Amino acid sequence: MKECFVSEELVDFTIDGMKFSYKPITAGEENDWLEDYIDTIPVKKENGDTVLMRKENLGKLNECKLRLIKMVPWEKEELQKITGVNKEWEELDKEQRILVFKKLKPFIFSQIIKEIRKIDNPEEPKN
């Protein structure tokens, strides 16, 4: 039964010697974020009518999950160079945190997302 629930303890992972801490996502959090990462797109049908189609935006979903990074390896001074504000990681708002991730080299960013996915979607237990 325990395997059905998410442990909300922080999970540490390392990318190129840099340590991060992530709080695994719960079903409730992902559900709360639906409006943040589902795009509504108007689509014209053959008869000329326009209908609204909902489509998952993986970039926005990644940003939502990045909100759950609780510790990063960068000092206040490094963060200030990117965000323009003199704050520690814990004090940055979600937009400032996302700005930090957007400034990363693509390889580092991809590795962080890959680690988050492994944490949130571990292999299913074998019976």
- Tell me if 127 is assigned to some domain: no
Task: Assess if residue 7 is contained within a domain.
Answer: yes
Q: What is the mean pLDDT of residues 96-115?
A: 96
pTM of the model: 0.82
The structure tokens listed for 113 are: 């997302």
How far apart CA 56 and CA 118 sit, in angstroms, is 20
Total domains in the chain come to 1
pLDDT at 35: 86
Condensed to tens digits (0 to 9), the pLDDT of residues 4-25 reads 888 889 999 999 999 999 999 9
Model confidence pLDDT, tens digit, residues 31-66: 999 888 999 999 999 999 999 999 999 999 999 999
Q: Is residue 53 part of a domain?
A: yes
Q: Assess if residue 125 is contained within a domain.
A: no
Where in the sequence is the domain holding 57, given as residue range(s)? 2-120
**Which pLDDT value is given to residue 3?**
78
Closest to 86 (Cα-Cα) out of 74, 76, 99, 96: 76
| Inside any domain, residue 67 | yes
Element holding 118 (H helix, E strand): helix 106-120
